[in-house]
Amino acid sequence: MSALSFDQVSIQLGGRTILASVSFAVENGEFIGMLGANGAGKTTLMRAALGLVPLKGGAISVLSRPTSRGNGAIGYMPQARGNLPGLRRLTGYDIVASAAGGAGWGLPRLDAAMRREIDWALEAVDARDLARRSLGELSGGERQRLLLSQALLGRPRLLLLDEPLISLDPGHQKSVVEIVRRLREELKIAIIFSAHELNPLIHAIDRVLYLGAGNAVLGAVDEVITGPVLSRLYGTDIEVVRINDRVFVMAGDVDVERDAHRHDEEGGHHHAGGQHDHDGAHV
């Protein structure tokens, strides 16, 4: 049984084709790195899996059932940006509790069972020590751990992480990737982790899902990260250069993965501090 399946999925937004008859399947327990050029559709793909984006054609299933809004099998961590104005005095515990029971922002009344669930989610990402600290005292990496903790509430079977490494230094990037890899191993859940660069993920992921030109290719890193495959997805000549254990995706003398990465995905909604359209998806 696949954790997530796209069957000939087509999506159009604003008159532009984002995905064109895309098919792939993510198996239970897999850790998938999702990459692609700016506007390739990474955020839109996640939102479609959440049932938040209408399909032009095809079908999406989660754990062999049609996807829908409020699917409790999916945990979602949207892109986090900004300095969280108005939230800096909240504690780490408040941030996680705000998503309890799909409550959205605002602190719900918590019964004993929900408090145990929040404690478990904090413990799962090594964030118990962050629970009493205010958000304004936390680093970007520590905030990401809290948002990841939010996404675990309800114990989903599929975790969608949208650019959790954004704006983090290499040390914090490594820490987040290691925590996510451990979650996959301990909880036996499938994870799709989007990023704009392969190297922080290369030793952690099972396979890579690369988007571009309306297409998607899913496979082993050595099968997907090749000149011919990426040239087709980027629509230009691409050379893949490997130096020691690092991979560089080059268009001429430009490293296309490390080039300025605009977060203006196609129609996706990005909210500071993990806010998003609360349609029942975990944050």
Tokens in use for 263? Answer: 């977060």
Beta bridge partners of residue 19, listed in sequence order = 11
For 84-113, the pLDDT digits (tens) are 555 667 899 988 988 886 545 556 678 899
b/e sequence 21-54, b meaning 16+ C-beta within 10 Å:
bbebebeeebbbbbbbbebbbbbbbbbbbbbbbe
The Cα 98–Cα 238 span in angstroms is: 44
Domain holding 54: CATH number?
3.40.50.300
Query: Residues 178, 181, 183, CA angle at the centre, nearest 5°?
Result: 110
Number of structural domains the chain divides into: 2
Do 146 and 131 have their domain in common?
yes
Question: Diameter of the chain by CA atoms?
Answer: 58
The Cα 97–Cα 58 span in angstroms is: 36
More confident residue, 282 or 150: 150
pTM of the model: 0.87
Residue 264 counted as domain residue: no
Do 66 and 30 have their domain in common?
yes
For 145-168, the pLDDT digits (tens) are 999 999 999 999 999 999 999 989
Q: Among the three residues 122, 152, 182, which one is the final residue of a domain in this structure? A: 152
The Cα 254–Cα 248 span in angstroms is: 10
